[in-house]
Copies of this chain bind each other. A is one copy, B any other.
Amino acid sequence: MARSPRCAAGRRLQLPLLCLFLQGATTILFAVFVRYDQETDAALWHWGNHSNADNEFYFRYPSFQDVHAMVFVGFGFLMAFLQRYGFSSLGFTFLLASFALQWSTLVQGFFHSFHSGCIHVGVESMINADFCAGAVLISFGAILGKTGPAQLLLMALLEVVLFGINEFVLLSLLGVKDAGGSMTIHMFGAYFGLAVSRVLYRPQLEKSKHRQGSVYHSDLFAMIGTIFLWIFWPSFNSAPTMLGDGQHRTALNTYYSLTASTLSTFALSALVGGDGRLDMVHVQNAALAGGVVVGTSAEMMLTPFGALVAGFLAGTVSTLGYKFFTPVLESKFKVQDTCGVHNLHGMPGVLGALLGVLVAGLATHEAYGDGLESVFPLMAEGKRSATSQAMYQFFGMFVTLMFASVGGSLGGFLLRLSFLGSPPDSQCYEDQIYWKVPGEHEDEAQGALRVEEPDTQA
């Protein structure tokens, strides 16, 4: 808090200038590269003989809307559980995701829909951009409360690029299947964020311990996030899959997996609670692990039974992670994971990748019939056996881990650049540094500021 005035003025301009610079850069790149695709362009769509009913919009837009709700409502409110950090959780989610949508339109566009010098956009690119924003928000969850908005924007700038490369390597180069993103979204986002958090490790973080918990009402706000993520997860996993049975089956599998992870979360939460009482943190988070764990395999012939088993395991692992592994992660590995993304996205993501290996390895022409073409095109064309597809899936997991951890470490060092001014240890998880906070709360908070200021000057 003992900064020089000039430095303070600099810091004051940092966020505005960074926002304006990033918006200016994406705007220019949009002008040069981004064009409507064939289904969005007035002239192109009406050229040829389509029925309007065939427009991709009608097959994907409802799913897109659900995904969009998950990214902004779901992630935003889920992170609003902290007692004094609701404005930042919701506001920075909003800012980060908005930037990520623009920036990943460009990055993913270069890799996936770059034809004759232009990036072509439509509902599929909208879904993919939202997926990338989801990964950025997962990483945000690991460092929630310990970084400012300018740092977060820089993290997003880097992460979106690496997300795009990793996704390209897996889906296009390795021919790995990962519709719902157990690897490309959840594992990537989680381990990227954890690596950032490792580099930004704060040994004195307990100075902000009193602000790190929830209050009764903030837990209810967080439940808005949980429930919207839970109900729309079937749309998330099915949004980018093949039309017809593909979307249908993916949604169904995800639906069952989530019910099972919810039951196992309640069971385990009460079991490990000591006094048999439930822990809201588990319900808010681990109940969602069933969506993560079938991200890779839900489009495959997982069977409803398989979905239940997968969900059950994910909820169990996730709940046990919150109880037993998160403290170890901090004490032994020096990784401070604010939202427990390792438990919700990291471990269930790994489990989901392995489940994908298993289910791909068990694929037969008999089980998929002519549908094999849609799910495993390389197998249908005879270029791969089920076993080799499984090997590629397995390899994809390690590629993702590598990209995420190296990229995240890089990101962490970027964020440590001193002029970015991260909040002092005693002011983590506190809205008031970044936001004008209305009266009532300001009084308490300023009290807190007064009390703790000497501490940082000492």
Residues of chain A at the chain B interface (Cβ within 8 Å): 8, 11-13, 15-17, 19-20, 22-23, 26-27, 30-31, 34-36, 39-47, 50, 52-59, 61-62, 65-66, 68-69, 72-73, 76, 80, 83, 86-87, 90-91, 94-95, 98-99, 101-102, 105, 121-123, 126, 149, 213-221, 223-224, 227-228, 230-232, 234-235, 243-249, 251-252, 255-256, 258-260, 262-264, 266-268, 270-271, 273, 275-280, 283, 287, 301, 303-305, 308-309, 312, 366-375, 433-441
Contacts and interface: CB of A to CB of B under 8 A. Distances in A.
Given A23-B308, A278-B435, 20 more contacts: A12-B270, A16-B270, A19-B270, A23-B264, A27-B309, A36-B249, A40-B249, A41-B301, A43-B367, A50-B244, A53-B54, A76-B223, A91-B266, A98-B259, A98-B262, A102-B256, A105-B304, A216-B437, A277-B433, A279-B435
Contacts of A80: 220
Given A245-B42, A371-B46, A27 B308 contact: yes
B15 A267 contact: yes
A124 to B, nearest CB: 11
How many identical subunits does the complex contain? 3
Given A62-B61, A216-B440, A41 B249 contact: yes
B367 A276 contact: no
Contacts of A20: 264, 267
Contacts of A72: 227, 230-231
18 contacts: A15-B266, A19-B264, A19-B266, A20-B267, A27-B312, A36-B304, A42-B245, A45-B371, A53-B54, A53-B243, A55-B244, A57-B251, A80-B220, A95-B263, A101-B255, A102-B259, A215-B438, A215-B440
A43 B95 contact: no
Contacts of A59: 52-53, 58
A169 B400 CA distance: 53
A106 to B, nearest CB: 10
B50 A277 contact: no
